[in-house]
Structure 1
């Protein structure tokens, strides 16, 4: 069985993963009127308070740092939702369905826009707890890994990136062991058939 392509690919650096995540759409509330911004990768605006608008995360951070907007955190980045996610992580073997870039987005927003996120300190603790629980699940999953099944539903890109080298090594080691066992079995079968043919 071949490994999924997203595991076979080269490992990204954390900076590369963060760069990818910065193109996720985020809702902002402009604090002043601004005309349309025409950039290489797209056109954004016009910005008219108090009308909210979606922009890439990197642009939201830029405007926030210039005090030109406030950021509306994603629906999942609130204390009640994360408490439920943590409970789900603790009670179930499966990973909870957090966004593919939840680690990067939460880190960026809590760093630059914590004043826009209610209970930001508690949220940081919840995210850390969730992260640790998911790490333990992954570690236990590696112990049970076999070449016939790889279940990785709901892992984030950062989490996939971290465990990819371990999965590759474990998978390759398992395949080598299975190949040796298979060759040994075939060799024993051939010897048995040869012995029987000599009797007759």
Structure 2
């Protein structure tokens, strides 16, 4: 389920674009017919998932190193480390994942990724007519941590289930909102075309 969470971030918009969000209407403006394309798919597909993942990967997270290293990693963005075994420290998520893959640390899950907090987020999403506020890069971070740090997540199956439920509710809201917007757009376009036809413009 969550193994594709990063791709699922935009899948709702992509589906809408493919299924219902392409609207073509000829509108007479100053006697010239203009073809207009309204495509959520065309707009969203320009977003680079790699860039989104990169930004999410720079988010700081707590790790507990299992090894010590007095030499910091020197980067343009700043130093990472040094590390002392058993002493928590903050590193970018991409660093935490590299350390985890080498069995050099345990990753401390963000507070909002604990099951009780996810339940609150899910309840907020259910109660809110719009999209409830989520932590920055929510789905990307969830995807990376579920993929690479499963053993550091308490009750991981329940956590994955709640993440999916949050996604599903937002997916449904986006679909409903897009369909309502497009229906209104079509009605407005039809009314404008009819008015232009009556006036001969």
TM-score range, shorter chain: 0.5 to 0.7
SS at match of 1:12: coil
Hey, what does 1:24 align to over in structure 2? 59
More strand by share: 2
1:88 CA displacement: 2.0
Aligned pairs for 1:38-187 within 5 A: 38-145=74-181, 170=182, 174=185, 178=188, 181-182=191-192, 185=195
Cα distance change of structure 1 residues 69 and 136 upon mapping to structure 2, 3 Å threshold:
same
- Structure 1 unaligned runs (5+)? 1-6, 146-169, 192-200
For residues 46 and 132 of structure 2, what CA distance do their matches in structure 1 show?
Answer: 23
Structure number with greater Rg is 1
**TM-score, length-normalised on structure 2?**
0.68
Greater alpha carbon shift after TM alignment, 11-20 vs 65-74:
11-20
1:61 CA displacement: 0.4
1:135-185 deviation per Cα after TM superposition (whole angstroms, max 9, x unaligned):
00111111222xxxxxxxxxxxxxxxxxxxxxxxx49x93x8646644754
Q: How many residues align?
A: 160
SS at match of 2:116: helix
For residues 185 and 129 of structure 1, what CA distance do their matches in structure 2 show?
Answer: 45
For residues 9 and 104 of structure 1, what CA distance do their matches in structure 2 show?
Answer: 16
**TM-score, length-normalised on structure 1?**
0.68
- Structure 2 unaligned runs (5+)? 1-41
Superposed CA RMSD: 2.9
